[in-house]
Structure 1
């Protein structure tokens, strides 16, 4: 699946690559393959100077950027979702190829985040980075922002020029990240969705988390909340550590930490200027974000022993 998507993506990027970029055919092929793999794997590495900035000045360039965006989306959806969608497309009338609850939740959350992110970016940056940009390009820039901040790392506009409100929203998208078993990081879309549903249930007095006429397993709810709490603790610790040793502004450091934890790769221009200690902290955050906090804790903590007793329950005041 990976190889097929990357080959098709490389072919599309080769055909749509602006002609003025590279004249040599061999070089264009290599660039197309590299960019396709980087986009699908949500790596964010680009061989173009300034990532994808300045490439949307023509229809061909817009298609080229759009190709990157589609590859990022496919990589961020997760392999189970892509495989189910491919099977559904190949056999649309087969009742055994129905989309699972997890796949439907992933698709719904991604659509909400893409649409919401595009709208928010369009509103917040209309008079800033999108100033003097045509409406069609504004929409493409905004949608690309909503997609790339979910762990891709490419950018079509200078990140350090974004307003504080936009940078804050970007931190939220980087924290949520991609979907389970994908090439992206973050706490994952289903984790966030389950937590929101559980909070809604608490407000409405329901005892079970339900979605698409199915009850979510209690263990999934517990794991989701554990992942969220751990991620916030790690991000808080990372920001606190950088604030102690680095001279940069709080928002720039917070952006750096969340970007590292979400394995996004976006920066407000301070990464190269961090001290050795700061870079080590960023490396640790990237490792925890990529491997997963629960995986790291499971690896370093002893195996729990079974307990054959249980204490009486007690009500604890919370909130």
Structure 2
């Protein structure tokens, strides 16, 4: 008993000595390590696979990416598939979200350490309190995944699937879709359901709900409960940006992608919308083969994956709000304005600083990932860029090269997926941030021509 108490005290001192960013880093890393060890157990497997592939699947699940080097259905039995599902469920709702909610439900208050950690992981506007946010996350996630499972079960039964199989597939794919994880028990993805309006609707419904983010959900919940509450500036930007980008993506795919243009009837509209939606929400499912896309449409897809959807949601990418801030800076500079504004609102300098840093760091990582893979892999450049953007954006789409990655390529993609889930700035701060005691006291001011 004393031994366990000493271990617990050491662990407590360790986590309290770390910054929130470092705690998130070690927290998600713990999920990955635990998941890898579990998936490596022989009695969770149908057939053996190299350790690197178990690590790849565990990281992909925790990061809610969906890229796979081996088939989840063919490699893991029901228990192994369940472990994968738990990993992307934990990755989807965030580190410590569920445990903090339970703590809040029992004691009605959370520690300062929990608050700092959650505010670091979920960037919230000042109009939303962390307690309201946590309740919305858990309640909304439970409701959406339950509704999704019921709808999926009905859709799979209509398609003639056996009851037990339909039930498990419904639960697995509902959680995967809402968490924008992109994991499927179908080896060909959802290509068999390209003209199935119900399945297309269910996935889009869940993925959009998850990717719009818990900020939007909390905001609308407070709007319904409190008449005096007004939608935050963040929510408005997210909704406007999402509609515009999704609409543009749909039009590009519908009119300019040959593999979609050859489809007939409703299948063409379904496919165009689904592919734009899956890249924008970073859900990672597909109903057509991205490997057959022409180069220009691959670029459009990379752009949508690069941007992603909403902060504090299940989607990855650089985020709509970051793009908005960068565009606002460009617009204000070109107009010679001293203030950075968007939709008639002045954006705080702190948010602009974070947005530009995120944009630059994100772009550097895309370049570095591409650079490394050009050495280790023999794929076409567009396939490599697509894979890197998909991994860092935690999307899960691929032109079909993932299974052929070398070990160096797999490790590179693993690192990118992990960084993508953690957040590029959070990762950078976890690795390089100095404590206040170590800050340099004497820094000389300099100038630079730009």
Same fold, judged at TM 0.5 (above): yes
CA distance in 2, matches of 1:65, 1:21: 17
Is the deviation greater in 78-87 or in 247-256? 78-87
Deviation at 1:169, TM superposition (A): 1.0
Question: Is 2:240 aligned against 1:108?
Answer: yes
CA distance in 2, matches of 1:253, 1:312: 41
CA distance in 2, matches of 1:66, 1:6: 14
Question: Is 2:274 aligned against 1:144?
Answer: yes
Q: How does 1:168-317 map to 2 (within 5 A)?
A: 168-301=299-432, 302-304=434-436, 314=447, 316-317=448-449
Aligned residue number for residue 158 of structure 2 = 19
Deviation at 1:253, TM superposition (A): 0.8
CA distance in 2, matches of 1:163, 1:155: 16
Which sections of structure 2, spanning at least 5 residues, go unmatched? Answer: 1-139
CA distance in 1, matches of 2:168, 2:157: 15
Aligned residue number for residue 166 of structure 1 = 297
CA distance in 2, matches of 1:288, 1:73: 23
CA contact 2:290–2:398 (8 Å) conserved in 1: yes
Which sections of structure 1, spanning at least 5 residues, go unmatched? Answer: none
Secondary structure of the residue aligned to 1:141 is helix
Deviation at 1:193, TM superposition (A): 0.8
Question: Is 2:200 aligned against 1:48?
Answer: no
CA contact 1:129–1:161 (8 Å) conserved in 2: no
Secondary structure of the residue aligned to 2:303 is helix
Is the deviation greater in 157-166 or in 204-213? 204-213
CA distance in 2, matches of 1:237, 1:67: 36
CA distance in 2, matches of 1:86, 1:12: 23
CA distance in 2, matches of 1:41, 1:132: 29
Secondary structure of the residue aligned to 1:96 is coil
Deviation at 1:222, TM superposition (A): 1.0
Q: How does 1:13-162 map to 2 (within 5 A)?
A: 13-17=152-156, 19-22=158-161, 24-57=162-195, 61-88=196-223, 90-91=224-225, 94-125=226-257, 127-134=258-265, 136-150=266-280, 151-162=282-293
Deviations 1:80-110 (A, max 9, x none): 111222443x45xx53231111111111111
CA distance in 2, matches of 1:5, 1:262: 23
CA distance in 1, matches of 2:222, 2:286: 32
Deviation at 1:237, TM superposition (A): 0.7
CA contact 1:42–1:72 (8 Å) conserved in 2: yes
Deviations 1:52-83 (A, max 9, x none): 112133xxx21111110110001101111112
Is the deviation greater in 94-103 or in 252-261? 94-103
Secondary structure of the residue aligned to 2:260 is coil
Secondary structure of the residue aligned to 2:144 is helix
Secondary structure of the residue aligned to 1:17 is helix
Aligned residue number for residue 3 of structure 1 = 142
Q: CA RMSD in A?
A: 1.8
CA distance in 2, matches of 1:281, 1:306: 32
Q: Greater RCO between the two (CA within 8 Å, min separation 6)?
A: 2
Deviation at 1:30, TM superposition (A): 1.6
Deviation at 1:120, TM superposition (A): 1.2
TM-score (norm 2): 0.65
- The number of equivalent residue pairs is 308
Deviation at 1:225, TM superposition (A): 0.7
| Deviation >4 Å, runs of 4+ | 304-313
Structure 1 residues 180 and 132, CA, compared in 2 at 3 Å: closer, same or farther? closer
Deviation at 1:121, TM superposition (A): 1.2
Deviation at 1:152, TM superposition (A): 0.9
Q: Which has the higher helix share?
A: 2
